[in-house]
Amino acid sequence: MAGSAGLQRGAGVSLWRQIADRIRLGVAADLADQNGRLPPETELAERFGVNRHTVRAAISALAHEGVLQAAQGRGTYVRRQRRLVYPIGEKTRFSAGLEGQSHDLRSELLSHRREAASPEVAEALGLRPDEETVRLEVLGSADGTPVSRATLWFSSSRFPDIADHFVRTGSITEALTRSGIADYSRASTTVEARHADEADTGELRLSPGAIVLFMRALNVDPDGAPIQYSLTRFAADRMTLLIQSPRQPGGG
């Protein structure tokens, strides 16, 4: 049964990368022992039905990613890594939800500009086609590792200074408060998953073939009027989305 283990040749993804993906998954589960030590390369090679060289290439890639650390003579060890949990609910806040999960959480404004609303944005925000919007590009990091990349749109006439407010406060919620929005809530959220595109691999420091969780969200004011539309790309291997039910204590 030490056969191909489901790996495919000639499918455009090298065996060592397929194995790296499997090991990355297995790391959370049963692959490592209590001390976080991986089985020896020869055993992994046999289990995956490949040559030891191929397993070494996979481990090398994961070591470069920071997932594993190989030590000559001692074995290969899993480096501590926690997924961040991003709560989604009626009262979802961009950074508040992640608080306490990391020492150093940052939201950095990469760029901002005014632009005419695309059909998608216009419909979401309830604007006339081509009405002007303010668009922000925000990079979220935890302990120096980028975890999310968000594009946010606001009505330019209602929130002319949103970019300034965000730069000064480092928080969308605060920036909205200074724009006169005392409270807001999440009206709709959709989630998809895609392969990282060029911008993702650059900003989130991902390798080709890596996965991003793709979240579309619309926030509304207490009257139900749309105030903010956003597309957020999360580095999928660093994040879990937690969907909060209204009553139940979203336990886990």
- Quick one: which segment of 5-13, 94-102, 108-116, 160-168 binds a second copy (CB under 8 A)? 5-13
Q: Which is nearer to DNA, 35 or 190 (CB)?
A: 35
Q: Are 114 and 126 in contact (CB under 8 A)?
A: no
Q: Which is nearer to DNA, 73 or 246 (CB)?
A: 73
Closest CA to 149 of 82, 89, 87, 235: 235
CA angle 200, 202, 203 (to 5 degrees): 70
Give the CA diameter of the chain.
66
Determine which residue in the list 106, 112, 178, 186 makes contact with a second copy, applying CB under 8 A. Answer: 186
DSSP states along 78-116: EPP---EEEEESTT--TTGGGTTS-S-EEEEEEEEEEEE
How many other CB atoms are there within 10 angstroms of residue 55's CB atom?
27
Query: Which residues ranging from 91 to 150 are in contact with a second copy (CB under 8 A)?
Result: none
Instruction: Return the residue matching tokens 């961009």.
Output: 94
**Residues linked to residue 218 through DSSP beta bridges, in sequence order:** 188, 229
Q: Rule CB under 7 A: is residue 221 a binding residue for DNA?
A: no
Q: How far is the CB of 129 from a second copy (least distance, A)?
A: 16
Question: Of DNA, a second copy, none, which one sits near residue 22, judging by CB under 5 to 8 A according to partner kind?
Answer: a second copy
CA angle 32, 37, 43 (to 5 degrees): 75
The number of angstroms, rounded, from the C-alpha of 230 to the middle of its chain's C-alpha atoms is 14
Q: Which is nearer to a second copy, 116 or 193 (CB)?
A: 193
User: At 241, is the secondary structure helix, strand, or coil?
Assistant: strand
Query: Which residues ranging from 37 to 56 are in contact with DNA (CB under 7 A)?
Result: 38, 40-42, 49-54, 56
**What track of x and - describes contact with DNA for positions 67 through 86 (by CB under 7 A)?**
---xxxxxxx----------
Q: Which residues bind DNA (CB under 7 A)?
A: 9-12, 14-17, 38, 40-42, 49-54, 56-57, 59, 70-76
Contacts to a second copy by CB under 8 A: 5-8, 11-14, 16-18, 20-22, 25, 57, 61, 83, 85, 88, 90, 185-195, 197-199, 201-202, 207-209, 211-213, 218, 220, 224, 236-237, 239-243, 245-248, 250-252
